[in-house]
Amino acid sequence: MLRVSAATLTAVLALSLAACGGSSSGDGTAEPDRLDPSADLSKQTLTVSNWDGYMPEDLPEKFKAKAGPAVTVTKHATNEEIIAKLTAGGDSGIDVAFVSGQFAQALGEQGLLEPVHAELVPNLKNLYPEATKLAYDPGNKISVPYTWGTTGLCYRSDLTGYDPDSWKDLLEPRPQLRKKVTMLGTERWLMLPAQKLLGYSANTRDEGEMQKVKETLLKAKPNLLAYDDTTFGDRLKSGEAALVEAWDGWCPTDTKNVKFVVPKEGGDLWVDTMVILKTSENKEAAHAFINYILDPEVHRWAAENIIYNVPNQPAMAALDPALVKSHPTLGTTPAELAKGEGLVDLGDAASTYTRIATEVAAQK
């Protein structure tokens, strides 16, 4: 998952929603438009915004050949970047956007998303049952999951000398591991180890609990090599680091002695999703695009190339066993993933996470 802070989302939405159109129902979800199942898709075009490298480069060409619509792909580096564009007022020009689950939730609650018309996405049948019960969008009413995974400990067993199994191993490392551990710096995942070690929810909004989280993080900081969201795998391979906090797909388990484990206190369940904008004038084509992604032959590309699990049962079943053997996290079952706590939008409490992350980063 290409992760960034969710903390600015509430502020961005608050500043821009007054300028955004779209009717909403009583629960904040946009009323669905009436769509034409027999629409001539060749007369529609799509603009899709995604992270770089998050789908095949030739996908637009193949989709056009199969379904008709021409597709233009734009790229966003962060969730914040695409959220700012989607909430700037008026029509962003984007039909389909890839965003993380908690961002989809926030956009949906503000009526900015077109509800998913399940009858136009028959490949929804390929989703695991667990993928229809996600905390941020139960029933996939406003979003369709693309990749999912969890966060845990990635380590070199030959350097640690033992198999870590607790967030305490990261936050209170043994003497031989001091200055050889890294943590993720993005706010939700910076907080996660302390939250779980202390027995708190990864979505807690309690100020008292978050104060204890801050104290735990400050106590842990002197023992860290770095906060690292991008190169921790390389540090592990080189031996500069021995134990790192990692997203499952980014743990280089195809390297000798590198292992991944979800600590006994538990982890999270993160999801990257596809959403259709309420302002889209090409909603039938947008649904066809999502349906195409959910084709097992298409969807399995993400597992094979990004090394993230996809919530598509036939796609995962078609993976080469040799790939799963070299990347054991691809063998994580949906039931195991579902044990992780689903991340949801924090609302106004996001500012607390931002403040704590800033204070921890500033502490010498």
Instruction: Provide the mean pLDDT of the chain.
Output: 92
147, HSE (Cβ side, Cα atoms, 13 Å): 28
In the predicted structure, residue 9 carries a pLDDT above the cut 80? no
Mean of the pLDDT values across residues 75-87? 93
Residue pLDDT, tens place only, 250-280: 999 999 999 999 999 999 999 999 999 999 9
pTM of the model: 0.89
- The mean pLDDT of 303-327, rounded to a whole number, is 97
With the CA atoms of 179, 184, 186 and 188 taken in that order, what torsion angle do they form, in degrees rounded to the nearest 10?
-120
pLDDT band at 30 (very low <50, low <70, confident <90, very high): low
What average pLDDT does range 44-68 have in this prediction? 97
3-state secondary structure the chain: CCCCCCCCHHHHHHHHHHHCCCCECCCCCECCCCCCCCCCHHHCEEEEEECCCCCCCCHHHHHHHHHCCEEEEEECCCHHHHHHHHCCCCCCCCCEEEEEHHHHHHHHHCCCECCCCHHHCHHHHHECHHHHCCCCCCCCCCCEEEEEECEEEEEEHHHHCCCCCCCHHHHCCCHHHCCCEEECCCHHHHHHHHHHHCCCCCCCCCHHHHHHHHHHHHHHHHHCCEECCCCHHHHHHHCCCCEEEEEHHHCCCCCCCEEEECCCCCCEEEEEEEEEECCCCCHHHHHHHHHHHCCHHHHHHHHHHCCCECCEHHHHHCCCHHHHHHCHHHHCCHHHHCCCEECCCCHHHHHHHHHHHHHHHHCC
Query: What pLDDT score does 114 carry?
Result: 98
**43 vs 30, higher pLDDT:** 43
Q: Do residues 264 and 166 lie in contact, with contact meaning Cβ atoms separated by under 8 Å? A: yes
Query: Is residue 235 over pLDDT 80?
Result: yes
Residues in the chain: 364
